């Protein structure tokens, strides 16, 4: 996989363009936010995350889908349990992943962040393949965007405390940081 800096799209990964994005106000990319998602909750490999980020979730298939039907959200990336990576929004654009958020005294983290969704839940361990892919992705993003640093890779819970809990206690932050140091 390789980032094309002129388009903000990675080559060698799946693309599933989402309509849920807009232009970055300043073009700044200085934060990487790690999330988790599974649809239906706690179920993996369903393809429903992709449908959700494209506003095509089949509402009749699960009661939870009706609860989230009005939401228009996306992330830049989604890493499945087997490490498969899908990109939904160009890195150059503003994906709608962080919601009401604040980091380092700045509100509206979507304006200056990239969002990575891990297929998972707060309390189930993430897979080796997910950590490997997240580290690989993070290294390329750190190389491409100088305002990013390992210290500016945070969880959704860090930028929306009290409102969000992901990626949760199951996420092994020391492991990610160790893998990033193995450059």
**Which residues does the annotation mark as catalytic?**
117
Q: Which residues of 64-94 are buried (b: 16+ CB within 10 A; e: fewer)?
A: ebeeeeeeebbbbbbbbbebebbbbbbbbbb
CB 70 within 8 A of CB 140: no
Closest CA to 91 of 162, 163, 4, 33: 4
Please choose, from the candidates 1, 34, 20, 28, the residue with its C-alpha nearest in 3D space to the C-alpha of residue 153.
34
Residue 128's contacts (CB-CB under 8 Å, 6 or more residues apart) are none
Bridge-based pairing state of the strands 102-103 and 106-107: antiparallel
| Separation in Å, CA 57 to CA 27, 39, 103, 105, 161 | 30, 10, 31, 35, 28
- For residue 16, give the nearest of 99, 72, 79, 89 by alpha carbon: 89
């Amino acid at each position: 996989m390789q980032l094309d800096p002129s388009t903000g799209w990675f080559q060698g990964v799946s693309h599933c363009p989402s309509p849920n994005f807009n232009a970055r106000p300043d073009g700044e990319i200085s934060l990487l936010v790690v999330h988790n998602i599974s649809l239906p909750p706690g179920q993996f490999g369903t393809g429903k995350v992709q449908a959700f980020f494209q506003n095509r979730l089949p509402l009749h298939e699960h009661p939870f889908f009706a609860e989230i039907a009005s939401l228009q959200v996306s992330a830049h990336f989604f890493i499945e349990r087997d490490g498969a990576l899908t990109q939904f929004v160009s890195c150059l654009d503003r994906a709608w992943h962080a919601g009401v958020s604040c980091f380092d005294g700045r509100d509206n983290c979507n304006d200056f962040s990239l969002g990575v969704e891990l297929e998972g839940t707060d309390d189930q361990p993430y897979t080796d393949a997910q950590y490997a892919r997240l580290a690989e992705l993070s290294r390329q993003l750190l190389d491409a965007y100088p305002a990013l640093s390992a210290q500016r890779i945070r969880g959704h819970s860090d930028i929306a405390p009290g409102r969000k809990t992901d990626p949760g206690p199951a996420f092994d932050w020391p492991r990610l940081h160790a893998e990033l140091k193995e450059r």
